[in-house]
Amino acid sequence: MDKTLPAIRLAFMLLCMLGGWLVCYSVTDWDDHRLLASFIGLSIGALVVLVDILLKGFSLRSLSAVTFGLAVGALISYLVGTSPLFDRGDEQNIFIARLALFLSCTYICAVIALRMALFVVNGIPLNADGTSPSKPAAFSTYQQMVPHYRLGTPGNQSVNHAFTIGRVRFIVTDTRSSRAPRTLADASRRTMLGQVQLEWFERELEAAIGHALVVWVNTVPWITRRKGQTDGWERYSLERTRIADRIASLGLTRRMVMLSGDAHMVAIDDGTNSNYRTGAAPDQPGFPVVQAAPMDRLTSEKGGPYSNGISRKRGQFGLMEVTDDGSRLRVELSGRDIRGLVIPRMRIVMECLDGQPCRVIENDAVRRRP
C-alpha cells in the first residue's frame, strides 16, 4: 500500500475542516459557531475518506470520467438555468427548478461518462473482437504510447510479442485484436488468435523448446469445463485443442505456466483441469494456470473449475517468483490480497530440473500432514 496515502487523506480532512472555519467569514449567522462549522467540515472530509476506503480505491479513469461528467452537467444546467426560460415566475419556484435541473444534469452526465469509461478497455470496446472499428486506432495508440517489446506480427495489427529473462521464455498472445465473433455458427471459422498470430505462436513454441520454462500470457480463461461457459476459450475449442496438441507434441506441457487476468478474480489450477490435448485422460495433468486479478477493478467469476478454488475480492493480484541456480528452477506462483499477503489456498511451488518435466512440489490447497 502506498505509504503516502494516509498523509494525503489526513491533509484532505484538515483542508475540509479549514473550509468549514472559513465559511463562517462569509456567512455571518455562523460567526458564533466556528467550532461546529469546523467539525461539520471535518465530518464531510472523513465521510469522503471512509467511502474511498470502502471502495478500496477508485480508479483514475473512473474518477476522471465522473469529474468530466459533472463538469459537463454543470455547464448544461448553467446554460439552461440562465436562459430566458427562467426570466419570469415565482423566485422560490425558479430556485427549486434550477436546483432540480442542476442535480439531474450533473447526475445523468456523470453516469453516461462513467459507463463510457467502463465500456472502453485499452482503447477497444469491452469484450470486442477483431471486427471492432476502433482496432486500427487502438493499435496505433499502443505502438506510440505503450512501452513494449518488438511485436511479433505488427502487420496483423495485434500486440503479441515474446521475450526472454534468464532461462525463462515469455510468450504474450493477443486474444482480442484478431478474434473472430464467438457467435459464428461454423465452429471451424471461430478463431481466438487469428491465422497469422496462431502460426506465429506455434513457431514461438517450437523455438522455446530449449528453455527451462515457458510462460504463456493468455488473458482470457483457458479452463472452461463447467457447463454453460460462453466466455474465454469455450467457443474456440477447436483452436484450443490444436494449441494443446502442439504444446504436447513439443514436450512443453509440463514445462509451461499460463498467466491470465481477464477474469477479475484470483484462481490457481495446478494442471488438474488444463489439459485439452486430444485423447488426454482425466487424470493426465496439464500445465498450471493462474488467474491474477482484479487489482482495483470490480470482481467477476469466469472459467473453471480450478484445483485451488477462486477468490473474489478487490485489491487482489498475482505474483510469480523465479529462482534459478543454473540447474534447478524454482517457481512460486501465488495470489495476494490488497495487503500483499498470500490468499489462503492460492499458492503453488514448481521445480524444474534440467532434462526433466517441471513438477508441483508445494500446494497450499493440499493439507499438509502433521
User: Looking at residue 55, what is its pLDDT?
Assistant: 57
Grouping H, G, I as helix, E, B as strand and the rest as coil, residue 77 is helix
User: Looking at residue 280, what is its pLDDT?
Assistant: 92
Contact 52, 63 (CB under 8 A): no
66 and 36 fall within a common domain: no
256 and 155 fall within a common domain: yes
95 and 244 fall within a common domain: no
pTM for the whole structure: 0.71
331 lies in some domain: no
351 lies in some domain: no
74 and 44 fall within a common domain: no
**Cα distance from N-terminal residue to C-terminal residue, the chain:** 35
The CATH number that applies at residue 137 is 3.60.21.70
- The three cell numbers of residue 234 are 469455450
Last residue of a domain, one of 10, 34, 54: 54
235 and 258 fall within a common domain: yes
39 lies in some domain: yes
196 lies in some domain: yes
352 lies in some domain: no
**Local confidence band at 227 (pLDDT 50, 70, 90 cut-offs):** low
Q: Where is 329: in which H helix or E strand?
A: strand 328-336
User: Looking at residue 369, what is its pLDDT?
Assistant: 40
- The three cell numbers of residue 360 are 508441483
Mean pLDDT of the chain: 85
Last residue of a domain, one of 96, 121, 146: 121
Q: How confident is the model over 168-177, as pLDDT tens digits?
A: 999 999 999 9
- 88 compared with 363, residue with greater pLDDT: 363
170 and 299 fall within a common domain: yes
Residue 370 has pLDDT above 50, yes or no: no
As to burial, measured by CB atoms within 10 angstroms (0-12 exposed, 13-18 middle, 19+ buried), residue 202 is middle
**Cβ neighbours around 188 below 10 Å, total:** 8
The stretch 306-331 carries a mean pLDDT of 95
User: Looking at residue 57, what is its pLDDT?
Assistant: 47
5 lies in some domain: yes
137 and 48 fall within a common domain: no
Distance separating alpha carbons of residues 154 and 130, to the nearest angstrom: 14
Q: Where is 242: in which H helix or E strand?
A: helix 237-249
91 and 13 fall within a common domain: no
Domain of 290, in residue numbers: 129-314
113 lies in some domain: yes
Ramachandran angles phi, psi of 281, nearest 5°: -75, 150
22 and 153 fall within a common domain: no
241 and 301 fall within a common domain: yes
80 and 202 fall within a common domain: no
- The three cell numbers of residue 6 are 494516509
100 and 6 fall within a common domain: no
298 lies in some domain: yes
Domain count, the chain: 3
